[in-house]
Every structure is written in C-alpha cells, then in structure tokens.
Amino acid sequence: MIIDEVRAFPIHAAPRPATPPRIPRREDAPPMVSPMRRYPDLLPDWRGRWTDLACVITARDGTWGFGFGSFSPPAVSIINDHLGPLITGQSCMATEKLFDVMQRATAHYGTSGLASYAISAVDMALWDLKGKVLQRPVYELLGGPQKSSIPCYASATGHDYGLESTIEWFLELGFKAVKVFFRHGPSDDMDGLRRNEELVATARELIGGERELMVDAWMSFDVEYVVRLSEALKPYRIKWFEDSLRPDDLGSYSRLRQRIPHQILATGEHWYSIPPFAFAAANGLIDIFQPDIRWVGGISAVLRICHLAEGHGQSVLPHGGMNYPYGQHLSFAMPAVAWGERSEGVSPPGVPLAEMVKLPGTAVIENGELVPSDAPGFGLEITREWLEERAA
C-alpha cells in the first residue's frame, strides 16, 4: 500500500473529565524538582509553550494512521517540510526501511532532540496504518501477546492534592507500585536533602511494605547529591532511582555506577535513537532502560532497544508507556517489559481513569492491570471530525 500523504499539525488533546475531584486542589503545592531549580526567577515557563502534534499518514486507498507527538510547531515543520515529502510514494508496510530512511535523512542536522520527536510521530502513524491495512492490532505485528496483562504503577508527578491523598487514590485504583518525584535538589543544601528523605519516608509509610516504591530526580541532581541521598534512602528499600543526572552526561552516569553499585539505576526518557542505549548497555551504566516511544523514535526504535536490553540481561520500562496505546501495544508484546507506567498526573482523587484518556480508544487500566485494544492498528477511535475540533 503506497503512502499518498503525510500531514502534521498542532493539536490540543487534553482530557476533559466530567467528574470533579473529591477534594480541593492545593494552591501551595510544591513544584517538582527540575534542572532549572537554581534559577527560580525563570520558573515556571522555562520549558516553552509548544503544544502536542498530530501526524496523519494516508494511503492511496484512503486508509489512514495516526501518530501523536510533541513539540509543535518545530517538529511539525520537520515532518511537513522534510520527512513527509521524503517518504510519500513509499510502501507504508516498509516500517524498517522508512525508520532507517528517517534516521539517515536527519543526520546532517541531528537525529536527536526535535528530529527524534518528529520521527517518533511519523513512525507511530506508520504502525497504526500498517495495522489497519492488515486488520490486525499492532501488538500482533510485534510478535503477539507475551503476557496476559500489563501490571501498572502510578507516578505521582504532582502534589496538587497532597501526597497522602494522591497515594491513597492510587492504591484505591489498584496500582501495583508508586513512584514519587523529589521536590528539592543540590541548590537546597542539607535542608533539601532532609526534606527529600522525609518525602520518601512518608511515601513508604503510605504504601506499606508489600508494594514497590521508586523515586525520580528528573535530570536535576549531580553525582555527589545522588550518592548522599541514595545512602539516606537505604532504609526505605527503593526499587530504583530514576533520571538522576542530566541525560547527555554519560560520564557522570559511569562514575555514579561505580559509587553506588548497590542501587538499581534507571533512565533513558530523554535519550534519543539507539546509540545512547547501546553505549549504556555495553558499559553497564544503568539497569533499566526507559525510552519514551513518542520521543525516542517511535515503535521501531523501542523494538530495537528491547532486543538490545535482552541481549545484555536488562529490562525496559517505557516512560509513560500506559498513557497512550503506542506503549500499551509494545509492552504487551515485549518480554523485556515487565511493568507499565501511568504518568501525566494519572488522575485527581475521585476522577475515574477513563475520564483522563487523551486519545479516544485508548485502553484504560483496571485494578492495576491493562490489556490493549484488539482493534486494528492501535485501536484508536479518532475521527477526522475529532481532529478538526482539537486542532490548535
């Protein structure tokens, strides 16, 4: 089946829940730690005002696939002005070839970063289209179900409703584990270190001793700070320490591995394409790879990362993998993936998870487990009318 058109455009796909939270939102909620914490005068707008993007790839017979990306308008321009014209006229079934084409074609201006976001959206749309043409769910195209369901954990990115109420709601929803994000970093000195430990101690008390607890520093620490904090957190039996350093600082990850060999380390949501994962695997830098399917290069990239991890005895936990059907289908099929993460705020206390879905047709976690849609492609129930309504 020949690709007839590739079109990307900005989109607002925020959920529109009908159920109000059962408790009021806090106005004094502490912000999550960030790489920019040392410059408080530049918060909270330092990440820019870009929106999500939609990528629609239409085959000659009118069948179309949908990819959902980030960082519009620059990623939209990369798709519409470069990648789209490049692959138009090619077979939509040739996902391996087209992924390789896009990787090579962006090399002269950098396959990482914005180019990777654009490649991801195109690749996901291609897999969706491929599944629709073949009338099979994508997870079958990836090898079929490897597990009966995906056990899920919840990431408490925000404290807008208080840590206690948030974790209690997660447990009520049946999540198997919880991840918390630190609120303080190296610029907060010893007081910040103490507050971070108190946060983890509180979380451990709330979830009890039978569930796993993970922590996330979101690219905001340095080696010294991680070493000190990791030692302080030993009594709370942390499953893994995530995203502790700047993603491009692989040398520091090597030093950190040597300093705290006891601690399970996870990262990779801000690594792009295959090389950083290959380097980390070959040099034993981390234990768990966490690529984001919408950022790293799409399904085609994470497939390669999963096989790479298996070859080195490591695991893969896609960043935000349960937020969208793309990660759901891949996780369902891959032996390297044991758990699924639900992030992006998950759900305010009392608001059903079904009302927090961004893309119609996305499967919903039930009692801490998820089974993807078995409809063709990714099972999305998106119409062209919905796209027109949500277009930015």
Q: How far is CA 62 from CA 2, 128, 167, 302, in A?
A: 10, 14, 46, 28
Catalogue the E-assigned strands of the chain. 3-11, 51-59, 64-72, 150-156, 177-181, 212-216, 238-242, 265-267, 288-289, 315-316, 340-342, 369-370
- Residue 115 backbone phi and psi in degrees, to 5: -60, -35
Q: How far apart are CA 82 and CA 5, in angstroms?
A: 13
| Token pair listed for 341 | 């993460």
Q: How far is CA 249 from CA 34, 243, 271, 293, in A?
A: 16, 11, 11, 21
Q: Which residue, 154, 207, 182, is CA-closest to 356?
A: 154
Amino acid letter for position 286? I
Mode of pairing for the β-strands spanning 288-289 and 265-267: parallel
For residue 212, the number of C-alpha atoms closer than 13 Å in the C-beta half-sphere is 17
Is 307 catalytic? The answer is no
**Active-site position among 159, 184, 270, 319:** 319
Task: List residues with catalytic annotation.
Answer: 319
